[in-house]
Amino acid sequence: MLKRHRRIKLEYERFSRLNRGLHIFTILTFITLAMTGLTLKFSYTSWAVILSHLFGGFESAGFFHRFAAFIMIAVFVIHLADVVRIKIKTKESWKNMVFGPGSMFFNKKDLQDLRDSLKWFLGRGERPQYGRWTYWEKFDYIAVFWGMMVIGSTGLTLWFPEFFTKFLPGWFLNVATIIHSDEALLAVGFIFTVHFFNTHLRPEKFPMDTVIFSGRIPLEEFKLDRPEEYQKMVESGELEKHLVEPYQPIVIRSIRIFGTVALLSGLSIVIWIIYAMIFVYH
Ligand code: HEM
């Protein structure tokens, strides 16, 4: 194994095939929801009119919005089902799943890493020994749960108003529209600036980190990026089990094209929002 490793330069597999697929669908549906939703929200701008033509009119933009919402909710449900599957397979308790060492929720080490990262940014300390999930990755993950609760639930009340007003007052739909719309703006603003910067645009990864699509990361990069996890893997003898061959260059090139289109779409949306807010806000 080690001989082969030296010849082909094996890579560390960080994401399963399912998680990579789910992330690709999250990107596709989120960009579709943002484009179609913002076309409705900023319908008085010139760019919204152009986009609405591309979607076949404002009404059909609403149809695409609902279709993408359905897929996004399905992606969320599949992820939850996968978490339950992992729990059953590993026989872990829920407490350990949520608060244990491999969990996506914050723990004491995240606070220490945040403090040490700030010191490092100011040149007053070493780069922290990041583990499987950094505190900013956990924040992004939890934000998706929050977004699904707030944007998803209000979106459903707007989608099925007759059903929801059977037990909710009519004025709730007006409130739901404001919450949905403003929370969506916040989510779009956050993902296409902070998430993009932290994941792709920071100097270590610029212009993009392809690991979420390929699932693989060169061993040297893994060692440098997540020294704590690398150390744990070596000590437990698990590292070898996670080593895989890299993808063919054609696959990596396709991934880069997809990533570039996604990044440019997100950044364009941010520019359109800023333009609408500053120059033509109603
Ligand atoms: C995932 C579940 C979601 C559902 C079920 C949903 C559903 C809806 C519905 C039914 C409308 C009204 C559309 C119309 O009037 O034709 C709407 C509007 C809108 N949605 Fe969503 N949506 C979801 C997610 C999102 C996301 C993720 C974003 C942004 C990234 C978003 C942004 C918007 C915006 C900006 C509007 C326009 C609100 C306004 O008129 O000010 N939605 N949504």
Residue 6 scores a pLDDT above 70: no
User: What distance in angstroms lies between residue 196's CA and the mean position of ligand 1's atoms?
Assistant: 22
Segments in 122-193 forming alpha helices (H): 135-147, 153-159, 161-164, 171-190
Confidence band (pLDDT; 50, 70, 90) for 282?
low
Is the CB of 155 within 6 Å of ligand 1?
yes
Is the CB of 269 within 6 Å of ligand 1?
no
| Average pLDDT for 202-217 | 95
| Average pLDDT for 252-279 | 97
- In this structure, which residue's CA is closest to atom 33 in ligand 1? 37
Is the CB of 152 within 6 Å of ligand 1?
yes
- For residue 87, what are the contacts with CB-CB under 8 A and spacing of at least 6? 94, 97
User: What distance in angstroms lies between residue 155's CA and the mean position of ligand 1's atoms?
Assistant: 6
| Average pLDDT for 210-239 | 96
| Average pLDDT for 51-67 | 97
User: What distance in angstroms lies between residue 180's CA and the mean position of ligand 1's atoms?
Assistant: 6
| Average pLDDT for 140-145 | 95
CATH topology for the 2-279 domain: Fumarate Reductase Cytochrome B subunit (1.20.950)
User: What distance in angstroms lies between residue 33's CA and the mean position of ligand 1's atoms?
Assistant: 7
The domain segmentation of the chain, as residue ranges, is 2-279
| Average pLDDT for 83-110 | 92
Confidence band (pLDDT; 50, 70, 90) for 273?
very high
From the alpha carbon of 68, which atom of ligand 1 is closest? Answer: 1
Confidence band (pLDDT; 50, 70, 90) for 99?
confident
Does the pTM surpass 0.75? The reply is: yes
Residue 2 scores a pLDDT above 60: no
Task: Name the amino acid, one letter, at 225.
Answer: D
At 100 the pLDDT is 83
For residue 167, which phi and psi values (nearest 5 degrees)? Answer: -130, 0
